[in-house]
């Protein structure tokens, strides 16, 4: 019997198709979604759920099974078909209806999953409804006769709607491209949904006005088996083709999207990756300027492992920075709470108030294209001002006891001159540039964060420092503390 605790994560659902995630599981989740969301959401039109899916081979059958669960509760379903996750968010906002996206994002082809939202693209995570949906669905799956009798209500209707054009027009309207020059861009869709959305938004697939862009496509064919490389740009190996293609084509920049095309990674004209923190800072400055031009004070959200550059740029532009936990469910709540104009994460998720506080990598890409086209220099020169510190990147360590390892690190650093400890999300220890740095304390500005994985016995380390040597020393010291027990185990056999 499927146990949904294995596949229901903090912010979404992901599992192996055929074992952890089956059509029966999807149907139970559809029934539970209808019961939990449609009965508890006063803002949703009565009985209507939007369903989108990415290009994975299992998507169509799982979407249909989820729809069967929804309609079996008497609710209506609107199938929007193949789309990106931010395309589903657009539909949820524009049609003011809750929705589910069938996707496993950047996971391998053997996986599928679901991202859910309430009307207006409001997030559903474990703390905001997903736990209730999980428990309701599990109760159905545990009932030996569920699904074999007559439905409890008259089945709801199923209709179809194509929302791609509305999505493209909405994004184009938010960031008009009036470039002084034509830009050449290489786009790696990774055989994911960007193969559908990039031609619609940046190209002429829908017959919209031509933009000052020349697009060189890589892997635009929709193929859920990912024949060229996994659609996971967080792994540097999956950026190599794009990094090679950009200078080969003499392009101004490259864009890489993940499988469900809600995240966008940027490569400069030299083939070098631009950090998502630098993109966050660049877009933040532009959104703040737009807000101030309208006579409003701006607030920008960033998670606690973005570069220190991000809050500095926000402050330099006379806006308010709000630091939050990692994860889209947390950030979207804070976005709405503060009416924030923009939010960014280290993982290349970018959130916009003008997009129902939801994340869309395509809109961030439009900002980068607009900023680059408004001046004559290369992208590397444009983003240099937003890359002030040396990051470690995210480093994962397998540990037997994440709590014990975390406390070992905390104990080693607490009490050192000038350090500040906080527990907003995992363990964060920081040292400011002007703080004392006596014996045992590294000098200058530095910080690190240790966070446990939601699903594996992993600790994730992110660190940053003003000086590369300090960053390396900090990184190595923390990793040595985290891994001390594992080294001892290895040494004793």
Catalytic residues: 105
Residue the block writes with tokens 């973005």: 306
403: part of which helix (H) or strand (E)? helix 402-413
Contact of 342 with 283, CB cutoff 8 Å: yes
What is each CA distance from 391 to 174, 395, 472, in whole angstroms? 32, 11, 9
**DSSP secondary structure string for all residues of 286-338:** HHHHHHHHTT---EEEEETTS-THHHHHHHHTT-EEEEE-SSHHHHHHHHHHH
Q: How far is the C-alpha of 71 from the C-alpha of 35, rounded, in Å?
A: 11
Q: Which tokens hold the place of 280?
A: 């966050």
Residue 118, phi then psi, degrees to nearest 5: -85, 180
Contact of 197 with 87, CB cutoff 8 Å: yes
How many Å is the Cα radius of gyration of the chain?
23
| DSSP assignment letter at 79 | E
What is each CA distance from 31 to 88, 136, 137, 477, in whole angstroms? 20, 8, 7, 50
Contact of 189 with 198, CB cutoff 8 Å: yes
Residue 286, phi then psi, degrees to nearest 5: -70, -45
Q: How far is the C-alpha of 334 from the C-alpha of 324, rounded, in Å?
A: 8
What is residue 461's three-state secondary structure?
strand
Contact of 380 with 252, CB cutoff 8 Å: no
Exposed, middle or buried by CB within 10 Å (0-12, 13-18, 19+), for 84? buried
Say which residues have a Cβ less than 8 Å from residue 367's Cβ, sequence separation at least 6: 175, 282, 283, 286, 287
**DSSP secondary structure string for all residues of 233-278:** TTSGGGGHHHHHHHHHTT-SEEEEE-TTS--EEEE-TTSPEEPHHH
Say which residues have a Cβ less than 8 Å from residue 89's Cβ, sequence separation at least 6: 99, 117, 121, 262, 355, 356, 358, 359, 360
């Amino acid at each position: 019997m499927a146990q949904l605790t294995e596949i229901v994560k903090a912010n979404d659902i992901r599992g192996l198709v055929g074992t952890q995630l089956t059509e029966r599981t999807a149907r139970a989740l559809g029934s539970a979604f209808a019961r939990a969301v449609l009965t508890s959401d006063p803002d949703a039109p009565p009985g209507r759920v939007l369903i989108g899916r990415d290009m994975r081979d299992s998507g169509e059958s799982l979407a249909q099974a989820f729809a069967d669960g929804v309609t079996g509760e008497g609710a209506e379903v609107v199938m929007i078909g193949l789309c990106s996750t931010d395309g589903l968010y657009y539909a949820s906002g524009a049609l003011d209806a809750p929705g589910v996206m069938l996707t496993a994002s950047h996971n391998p082809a053997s996986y599928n999953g679901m991202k859910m939202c309430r009307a207006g693209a409001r997030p559903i995570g474990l703390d905001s409804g997903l736990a209730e949906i999980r428990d309701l669905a599990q109760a159905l799956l545990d009932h030996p006769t569920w699904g074999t009798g007559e439905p409890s209500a008259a089945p709801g209707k199923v209709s179809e709607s194509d929302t791609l054009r509305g999505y493209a027009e909405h994004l184009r309207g938010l960031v008009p491209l009036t470039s002084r020059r034509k830009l050449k861009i290489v786009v790696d869709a990774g055989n994911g949904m960007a193969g559908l959305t990039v031609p619609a938004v940046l190209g002429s697939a829908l017959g919209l006005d031509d933009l000052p862009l020349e697009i060189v496509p890589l892997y635009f064919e929709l193929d859920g088996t990912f024949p060229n490389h996994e659609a996971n740009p967080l792994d540097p190996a999956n950026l190599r083709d794009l990094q090679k293609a950009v200078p080969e084509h003499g392009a101004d920049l490259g864009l890489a999207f993940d499988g469900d095309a809600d995240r966008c990674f940027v490569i400069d004209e030299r083939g070098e990756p631009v950090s998502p923190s630098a993109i966050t800072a660049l877009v933040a400055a532009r959104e703040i300027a737009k807000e101030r031009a309208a006579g409003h004070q701006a607030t920008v959200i960033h998670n606690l492992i973005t570069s220190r550059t991000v809050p500095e740029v926000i402050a330099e532009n006379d806006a308010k920075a709000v630091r939050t936990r990692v994860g889209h469910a947390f950030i979207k709540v804070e976005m709405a709470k503060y009416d924030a104009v923009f939010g960014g994460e280290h993982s290349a998720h970018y959130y916009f108030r003008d997009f129902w506080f939801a994340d869309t990598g395509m809109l961030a890409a439009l900002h980068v294209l607009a900023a680059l086209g408004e001046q004559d220099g290369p992208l590397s020169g444009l983003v240099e001002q937003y890359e002030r510190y040396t990051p470690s990147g995210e480093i994962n360590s397998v540990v037997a006891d994440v709590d014990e390892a975390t406390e070992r690190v905390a104990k080693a650093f607490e009490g050192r001159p000038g350090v500040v400890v906080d527990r907003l999300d995992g363990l964060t220890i920081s040292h400011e540039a002007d703080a004392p740095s006596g014996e045992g304390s590294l000098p200058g500005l530095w910080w690190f964060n240790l966070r446990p994985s939601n699903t594996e016995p992993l600790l994730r380390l992110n660190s940053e420092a003003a000086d590369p040597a300090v960053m390396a020393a900090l990184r190595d010291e923390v990793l040595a503390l985290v891994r001390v027990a594992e080294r001892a185990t290895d040494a004793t056999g």
